[in-house]
Amino acid sequence: MSVSSTGRDRELIEASLDRIRSELASVVGLEVDCTDLTISRDEDRPIVGEGVHLSFKLGLLAQGEIRKGCLVMGLEPALEAAGLFLGRSDDDRQLAAKSCELDDEWKEGLLEVGSVFGAAVDVALRDEIGVDVHACSEGCQGVKTNTAPTLEVSPENEVLVGRFKWRSEAGLSSEGFLAVDL
């Protein structure tokens, strides 16, 4: 069940996505747009759409409690960011995305991209919003069609979910979401 969110919820998600976009542009040279943002508070973990997705897991420390979150996007746009970070070709990316088999270098690149996401969320929440939250990357995992990523949620909390459409300057796109147990 989804419930309405507050203006503060929107502010948290927008600041996080803006910082992620900014960091991707400065660190790997990837310009992306996040459009069609919808915000909700959900009792259940959000489900991914069609195709293979990656969940970049986030660890959060909020008000002395350990919480979790994730940024989920399609495999190919995630590999685009990792490929730019690693200096891999578009052909390499397309082959890896098609086969869904990643060598150790691809995996390391994805972990580095996850670190960028974790740092961006950390800065957005603390510096831009002034929330007493610290965030860091806790790795990434693949998520199959119509399933939910692993996300530990406190039973007393609803999950703050910001759903968006991700589109890079190269035209790679994906539906995605940022979900946090805050």
What is the rounded end-to-end Cα distance, in angstroms, of the chain?
17
What pLDDT digit, counting tens, does each position of 7-55 carry? 889 999 999 999 999 999 999 889 999 999 999 999 888 999 899 999 9
Number of structural domains the chain divides into: 1
Residue 5: the pLDDT is 57
For 111, phi and psi rounded to 5 degrees? Answer: -65, -35
Torsion sign, CA atoms 98, 102, 103, 105: positive
More confident: 5 or 24: 24
CATH code (residue 127): 3.40.1550.10
Which segments within the chain are labelled E, that is strand? 2-3, 32-42, 53-62, 65-74, 133-143, 159-168, 173-180
Q: Which residue, among 59, 23, 71, has the nearest Cα to 133 in the 3D structure?
A: 59
Q: Which domain holds residue 107?
A: 2-180
Alpha-carbon span 29 to 135, nearest angstrom: 23
What pLDDT digit, counting tens, does each position of 106-153 carry? 999 999 999 999 999 999 988 766 678 889 999 999 999 999 998 887
What pLDDT digit, counting tens, does each position of 80-102 carry? 999 999 999 989 989 998 888 89
